[in-house]
Chain A
Amino acid sequence: MPAPLLDREFLEKLERLTIHWQKSFAGLVGGHNMSRFAGAGQEFLDHRNFHHGDDLRAVNWRAYLRLEKLFLKMFQVEPRVPVRMLVDVSESMTAHGGQKFDYARKLAASLCYVGLVRLDTIEIHGFSGRLAQRIFATGGRHRFPGVMDSLAAMTASGKTDYNAVVRDFIGSYSQRGLVIVISDFLDDQGCERALQYLADFGHELMLLQVWSDEDRTPPWTGELELRDAETGAGLKLDFDDDARRRYTSAFDEYASAIQTMAFRSGGRYAGIATSQSLESVIFGDLIKARGIA
Chain B
Amino acid sequence: MYLLNLSFFQFLAVFGSIGAVSVALYLLDRSRRKQVVSTLRFWVAAEQPAVAARRRHINQPWSLLLQLIGMGLLLLAIAQLRFGTPALAGRDHVIVLDTSSWMMARSGKGTLMDVAKARARQYLRALPARDRVMLVRADALATPATAFEPTHQKVDAAIVASQPGSTALNLNQALSFARHIQLQEGRRAGEIAFIGPGRTADSGESASAPPKNLRVIAVADNVENCGLRKIGMRRSATDPALWEIYVSAHNYGTAPRNVTMSLDFGTPQQAGRVPIGTQRLSLQPGGDSEASFQYRTTAAGVLGVNLTPHDVFPADDHAEMELPGQPALAVTVYSNEPELLRPVLAATPRVTAVFRRPAEYRANDQGLVILDRFVPPQRPAADSIWIDPPAQGSPIPIRTSVENVPFAGWNPEHPASAGLRTKDFKLEKVSVFEAAPSDGRVGEVAAGPVIVAREGKPKIVVLGFHPALSAMRYELATPLLFANLLRWVSPEIFQRWEITGGSVGTVKVALDRETPQKDIQVTGEDGAPLPFTMRDRTVQFFSGTPGSVRVVAGNREYMYAMTIPELWDSKWVPPPDVRQGIPHFAAVLDSSIDVWPWLAVAGGLCLLAEWVLYGSFRRALRPLLLRHKSRTAAEVRR
Contact = CB atoms under 8 A, between A and B. Distances in A.
Interface centre among B40, B633, B637, B638, by most A CB within 10 Å? B40
B58 to A, nearest CB: 12
Given A186-B41, A216-B634, A243 B30 contact: no
B51 interface: yes
Interface stretch (A29-37, A109-117, A172-180, A229-237): A229-237
Nearest to A220: B33
Interface stretch (A47-55, A61-69, A199-207, A247-255): A247-255
A87 to B, nearest CB: 16
B30 A222 contact: yes
Interface stretch (B78-86, B165-173, B329-337, B623-631): B623-631
A9 interface: no
A219 interface: yes
A227 B38 contact: no
A247 B38 contact: no
A215 B35 contact: no
Given A219-B626, A236-B52, A238-B49, A92 B35 contact: no
B593 interface: no
A287 B594 CA distance: 76
A233 B50 CA distance: 14
B33 A246 contact: no
Interface centre among B622, B634, B637, by most A CB within 10 Å? B634
A191 to B, nearest CB: 11
B623 A219 contact: yes
Contacts of B37: 95-96, 214-215, 218, 226-229
Interface in B35-51: 35-51
B32 interface: yes
B622 A221 contact: yes
Contacts of B270: none
A155 interface: no
A217 B630 CA distance: 6
Interface string A153-180: 0000000000000000000000000000
A12 interface: no
A157 B70 CA distance: 50
Contacts of A240: 48
A290 interface: no
Interface string B600-638: 000000000000000000010011001101110110011
B40 A250 contact: no
Given A186-B38, A237-B46, A273 B634 contact: yes
B622 A96 contact: no
B34 interface: yes
Nearest to A252: B637
Contacts of A271: 634, 637-638
Contact of A92 (B39, B48, B52, B629): B39
B570 interface: no
A223 interface: yes
B633 to A, nearest CB: 7
Contact of B51 (A92, A95, A238): A238
B631 A275 contact: yes
Contacts of A246: 45-47
Given A213-B630, A217-B629, A251-B42, A236 B50 contact: yes
Given A226-B43, A238-B51, A247-B46, A216 B630 contact: yes
Contact of B50 (A213, A220, A237, A275): A237
Main DSSP-derived SS at the A contact region = mixed
B51 to A, nearest CB: 5
B27 to A, nearest CB: 12
B422 interface: no
B634 A239 contact: no
A247 B45 contact: yes
B555 interface: no
Contact of A285 (B43, B627, B629, B638): B638
A135 B209 CA distance: 95
A250 B42 CA distance: 6
A254 B50 CA distance: 23
A225 interface: yes
A240 B623 CA distance: 13
B622 A225 contact: no
A243 to B, nearest CB: 4
Contact of A228 (B39, B59, B622, B627): B39
Interface string B44-86: 1111111110110001000000000000000000000000000
B56 to A, nearest CB: 13
B249 to A, nearest CB: 94
A224 interface: yes
A211 B33 CA distance: 22
A244 interface: yes
A188 B637 CA distance: 24
B43 A95 contact: no
A239 B34 CA distance: 12
Interface in B221-274: none
A243 B46 contact: yes
A239 B633 contact: no
Contacts of B42: 247, 250-251, 254
A222 B626 contact: no
Nearest to A221: B622
Interface string B108-120: 0000000000000
A223 B33 contact: yes
Nearest to B634: A273
Contacts of A192: none
A93 to B, nearest CB: 8
A226 B38 contact: no
A78 interface: no
Contacts of A285: 638
A244 B46 contact: yes
Nearest to A215: B38
B181 to A, nearest CB: 55
Top 5 A-B pairs, shortest CB-CB distance: A250-B45, A217-B630, A223-B32, A92-B38, A186-B39
Given A93-B38, A219-B622, 9 more contacts: A212-B38, A217-B627, A220-B33, A223-B31, A225-B35, A229-B36, A235-B43, A238-B51, A247-B45
